[in-house]
Amino acid sequence: MTDHCRVAVLMAVYNGTKYMDEQISSILGQSGVSVTVYVSVDLSDDESYARVLEWSSRDARVVPLSYGERFGGAGPNFFRLFRDVNFNNYDAVSLSDQDDCWFPDKLERSLSCLKEFSCDVYSSNVTAFWPDGRRLLVDKAQQQKKFDHFFEAAGPGCTYVFSRSSAIALKTFIIEVSDRLSSVSLHDWLAYAFCRSRGYRWYIDPCPSMLYRQHSDNQVGTNTGLQAIVKRLNMVRAHWYRKQVSQIVELVSPELSSRIDSYFFRLLNFYRMRRRSRDAFILLLLFIFGVY
């Protein structure tokens, strides 16, 4: 890859002053590509927007979007970025959280993988890290299944890199269904479901591309530890998970909605609904015992 490869990085920020500088620095320091960082700041209680303006005054590669709107979550903020940023002058589009740290070759490697494997969208494993120094590989690179995109994301959205054509297609879709997106909690899950359902080829890299920061303010974070497991189980018991599946299927593949919602269809196809075998069998138990 060369510096002629242009990447638009979409960064969603909310109360991000504590970690944002380190993240922006890691993006601007990417090797082998030319980056522009578009930053959308949700209405914040700190100086996030002022900090973005400072970055923009020092480096024209940092472009702040207009400020003052309350989005209420990372998903609506990323949907705003997709709607408002013009992708026509870029070769690829990447997503970024406000508090991680990218490896210097993250974008260069992702574009190389897209070319090598003839794919349209890239995501990767990440290395989660905690303030106490612990690190853990978050492995999302299992073989993709026929229906997995309806039941899980491809991994953390902050690893996603889209070809220009797939990014523009997703942008068009987001605009078309904008009045129905408030029910979707996770933008990365929706993006994966949309791209897979439209036949875009997706590569999940087993090599981690970034340090994925874990702290009390994470909107999602890793699914590790007893506290995280209990939290996820309570969300499933409240049928949050089932509602998200139904809403995403209805948005991207409405013709499959009745099949996916069928109890017997789920029992017969459970193994094709999650990439990891362990997760598929857990899902089967949720179906059988009516927890789902």
pLDDT digits (tens, 9 = 90+) for 113-123: 999 999 999 99
176 part of a folded domain: yes
What mean pLDDT is reported for the chain? Answer: 95
| Residue-wise DSSP of 127-164 | EEE-TTS-EEEE---SPP-SSGGGT--SS-GGG-EEEH
CA distances to 24, 205, 221, 228 from 278, in Å:
36, 20, 20, 17
235 part of a folded domain: no
pLDDT digits (tens, 9 = 90+) for 150-179: 999 999 999 999 999 999 999 999 999 999
Query: Residue 148 CB: number of other CB atoms within 10 A?
Result: 22
Q: Provide the token pair at 3.
A: 């510096």
Long-range contacts of 15-18, Cβ-Cβ distance < 8 Å, separation of 24 or more: 15/44, 15/45, 15/46, 15/48, 15/217, 16/41, 16/44, 16/46, 16/48, 16/51, 16/98, 16/99, 17/46, 17/47, 17/48, 17/51, 18/99
236 part of a folded domain: no
Q: Provide the token pair at 177.
A: 């269904």
57 part of a folded domain: yes
pLDDT digits (tens, 9 = 90+) for 59-68: 999 999 999 9
**Which CATH number covers residue 213?**
3.90.550.10
| Residue-wise DSSP of 118-134 | T-SEEEE-EEEE-TTS-
pLDDT digits (tens, 9 = 90+) for 251-272: 999 999 999 999 999 999 999 9
d(C-alpha 291, C-alpha 239), whole Å: 8
161 part of a folded domain: yes
Q: How many domains does the chain have?
A: 1
The confidence score (pLDDT) of residue 75 equals: 97
Indicate yes or no: pTM above 0.85.
Answer: yes
In the predicted structure, residue 222 carries a pLDDT above the cut 90: no
238 part of a folded domain: no
215 part of a folded domain: yes
3-class SS at 52? Answer: helix
90 part of a folded domain: yes
Instruction: Give residue 81's domain range.
Output: 6-219
